[in-house]
Every structure is written in C-alpha cells, then in structure tokens.
Amino acid sequence: MSTQDNLPEVPREPEVLREPVVRTGMFGASDTGDTSGYGGLVVRRAPRPVTPRPYGGYFDDIADGLERVFGEEYADAIERVVIVGDEMTIHVKRERLVEVAKHLRDDPALRFELSLGVSGVHYPEDAGAELHSVIHLCSITHNRRVRVEVSCPDADPHIPSTVGVYPTHDYHEREAYDFFGIVYDGHPALTRIEMPDDWEGHPQRKDYPLGGIPVEYRGAEIPSPDQRRSYA
C-alpha cells in the first residue's frame, strides 16, 4: 500500500487565526539591494493557520496516538496542527519537543523511526516566533510522513536539541545554528559547520545583508550586490 492510499480524498483548507502577513520584495532588501528582479513581488502568508479535526486519512491516527500518550496535557504539548494537501505539520511547544519526538519514534502505533533532517526558517514578521526549526520524519513501519515544527523568538533563540532522539540531527542542528542562529540546547558540540568559526552573523536570515565585494570584469568594475541598482 502506498502512502497516498491513506491520505484524505479532499484536502482541507486550514483556518487562519490572524490576518495574513503581506511582504514585498525578496531577501528582505528594502532599498537598492534587491537585485533579484522581484522587488515588486507581493507575498501573502497566513502566519497562524490551523486545521480542525477530523483531518482525514492517517493524519487522525497520528493525532490520536499523541492524544493517547499525552492525555490532558495534549494541548500543553501541541500548539496546533496544519494540513495542507497531503502534508501534515505538527507545531510543538519547544519545552515539550524532545518528549514529543521520543513518542513519535517509540510508540508502536506511530513509529517514526527515520528522520530526514532538520531545517531552519526565519520569519521576521512573526513577532515572538521569528525562528522556526522543522523536523521531517518518516515511518518506515507504517509508510507515513509527518513534519514537526517548533518556534522561538529572536530575543531567546533556544530550542532543545533532539540529537539524543535522532543522532543524525547532529550536523543538521549545527547547520541551522550556523545559518539561522538557532541555539540547540543540549547539543554535544554546537559549532559552525559551513562558515568560519569567527564569522559574524547568520547568512540565511532574511535580515542578513547581501554584502559582497566588487568584481572586475573585462575592464569594468561590477559593484557588490548591496550596491547594485534595484530592478523593481
């Protein structure tokens, strides 16, 4: 049986808890730094979507498994669930992340024994939850996938490390720390993995300056990206 056999026949549209966020341009540039050609792009994103039960397919089985484990503390561990198409995202409170991850891995009804990695995201307009850490899990036993997402504010960029649950998260968490500045508490050796140790800032944050150096090409000097004209 394929994964698609257990999915809802009709995707449910998530509800929105707040007004959508509107962002213009690319890379967070607000002046002449946007050299992408998308300076006039308008992006609308709902910052707090939530999908009501029933979810459909095996999504309800996953939610039922977590509710069975946490009981009355379910709402204290799971902030919300979002279903978009054939993808399920469970937003977890950071204080309960390790506990939720262990249950997803060890519960026989869940058995998400394989992690496909950890990635970071920066939403500067999401006040109080600017930094997100996303874990992509796969159950080989039940042929299912789920996404676990946890957030933290810029002012307190700390999230518990899940290396103790999924050892392969070691390098992934180091990369998210390197590029986004997310501090994974309890990581065995949280150091930069791509950038030099003395590098200032975190290059994949949307507020990171484009920077660069001028380059000479066929007798002409090409200015660095933050000095080029905007195509808006």
Are 100 and 107 in contact by the 8 Å Cβ rule? The answer is: no
Distance CA 69, CA 187 (A): 26
- Asked if residue 22 belongs to a domain, the reply is no
Q: Which two tokens stand for residue 122?
A: 């920066």
Do the domain assignments include residue 214?
A: no
Sign of the torsion angle spanned by Cα atoms 175, 176, 180, 181: negative
Q: What is the pLDDT of residue 126?
A: 87
Q: Number of folded domains in the chain? A: 1
Q: What share of the chain is helix, strand, coil (3-state, %, to 5)?
A: 20, 30, 50
| pLDDT tens-digit readout, 143-180 | 999 999 999 999 999 999 999 999 999 999 999 999 99
Supply the mean pLDDT for the chain: 85
The 8 Å CB, 24+ separation contacts for 205-214 are 205/122, 205/124, 205/179, 205/180, 205/181, 206/27, 206/28, 206/122, 206/123, 206/124, 207/28, 207/122, 207/124, 208/28, 209/33, 210/27, 210/29, 210/33, 210/35
> Does some domain include residue 99?
yes
- Is 225 within the bounds of a domain? no
Decide: helix, strand or coil at residue 77: helix
CATH number at residue 178: 3.30.460.80
Q: What is the pLDDT of residues 168-225, one digit of tens each?
A: 999 999 999 999 999 999 999 999 999 999 988 999 998 887 767 777 878 888 777 6
Please report whether residue 220 resides in a domain. Answer: no
Q: Say if 30 falls within a structural domain.
A: no
Query: Which residue segment(s) compose the domain that 120 sits in?
Result: 3-15+47-197
Is 129 a domain residue?
yes
Distant-in-sequence, close-in-space partners of 57: CB < 8 Å, separation ≥ 6: 6, 7, 8
C-alpha separations of 98 from 10, 79, 156, 185, 198 in Å: 32, 15, 18, 11, 30
Amino acid letter at 188? P
Is the residue at 98 inside a domain?
A: yes
Report pLDDT for 220.
83
